[in-house]
Amino acid sequence: MNRTSTTQPTPSHLGPDSSMLRARSLVVSYGRTAALRGVTLEVRRGEILAVTGPSGSGKSTLLLTLAGILVPDAGEVHFGERCITAENESSRSRLRRKQFGVLFQFGQLVPELTAEENVALPLLLSGRRRGVAITAATTWLDRFGVADLAKVRPPEMSGGQAQRVAVARAMVTEPEVLFADEPTGALDTLAGEQVMTQLVRVAREADTTVVLVTHDARIAAYGDREVVVRDGVLPDPIPADEASVSGREEGRS
């Protein structure tokens, strides 16, 4: 089944030349084990792309490589006109602080900090004044429906609450791309759907591109497009513009 037809429509402002991320012939190995074997992929500006596949297929490795956290053994990743795989770690770290947001399965909140302090942390690390950072954090907590948790620490939150705080932290810098690795994997069905509904809504409002890794078909259905990684290979992915057109045509049939 082509899952594109069941998802939300791709934003109408996307044009044929609106590529945000381009990966070419990515190869990543851990010792003698090949995690990615020549993966090529394009992600369009404003798109929510679901990357699926069985456990151990290489989908998380692909996300980490696209985000510049892992450097491939071969191949390139381009962010706009920048070849981020050719940049040093310091440059890639600045990119992740300012233009990329990264969200993991367990949120990785700092347990000693309150929700507002956790969300403000990326801004503080970028040199923002504390008052400005806390104000921004409060705004983003409110956008994800957890403003009442501003003074609460992670150990006192439910899993769903903590993950919404983590999403707010990933979005507080207003990144151009959000990389989300199994963001609902540790949540029950209801909490996972609540997190995804709010994440998609806010990403649409902010025009944020999202690369979403998941093994859950229900979560993948929130994307505009789905690609499946198997054994480190992405078999003949449909170009982003063709997939979007195909999905819209199927939705009308």
- Residue for token digits 């692909």? 62
Contact 26, 47 (CB under 8 A): no
Q: What is residue 188's predicted lDDT score, i.e. its pLDDT?
A: 87
Calculate the average pLDDT of the chain: 86
- pLDDT tens digits, residue range 30-84? 999 999 999 999 999 999 999 999 999 999 999 999 999 999 999 999 999 999 9
Mean of pLDDT values over 93-115: 89
Question: Residue 129: which residues within 8 A CB-CB, separation 6 or more?
Answer: none
Sheet with 82-83: strands ordered across: 33-44, 19-30, 74-79, 82-83
**DSSP label at residue 3:** G
pTM: 0.84
